[in-house]
Amino acid sequence: MDFNADHFALFGLSRAFRIDAATLDARYRELQAEVHPDRFANAGDADRRRSMQWATKANEAYQALKKPQERAKYLLHLAGHDVGAENNTAMPVDFLMEQMEWREGVAEARAAGNHHELEHLHHRLRERMVASYEELAALLDDTKDYDTAADRVRRLMFLEKLLFEIDDAIVALEEE
């Protein structure tokens, strides 16, 4: 095993947005079984430290590849394209207007105690996100359009935040 391998190589996967989650999970478990610190409890300090470093690397790599948005960011990083979420917050007006409409809908449904409407908004947004991830897969894997992919990742960051807000509103209504 090469400690400097990228996350995909660590798990024996191709560098692609479209990955088989079951294969990732299985390879993660295999790697953890090999490097888990418990296996090195009676080893010397250097071997225990190396085991801890490998286990940490495996965990970080798994978390980055398991989540679609993080996997997209990592692929962009490997391709030399920064998402630029911190310094590139400009979004098209129509996208921002749509975000405002979504948030107004969430606020109205929450204020009215309309659990059904919040569930409906959640479902619609999840469908939108699935379509966005499919578009992202095409941009990253098929056309290698990294600039557009970075834009879509920034948009998905907004959508994921909105999804958390909807989920929080649903939980708040359930707790009332």
For residue 17, what are its two tokens? 């947005």
Question: Is residue 15 a contact partner of residue 5, using CB atoms and an 8 Å limit?
Answer: no
Q: pTM of the entire structure? A: 0.87
| CA–CA separation, 121 and 138 (whole Å) | 26
Q: Give the pLDDT of residue 165.
A: 95
Residue ranges and CATH numbers for the domains of the chain are 7-66 (1.10.287.110), 93-175 (1.20.1280.20)
How much is the pLDDT for 1? 66
| Residue ranges for the chain with pLDDT beneath 70 | 1, 85-89
Q: Residue 81's pLDDT is what?
A: 92
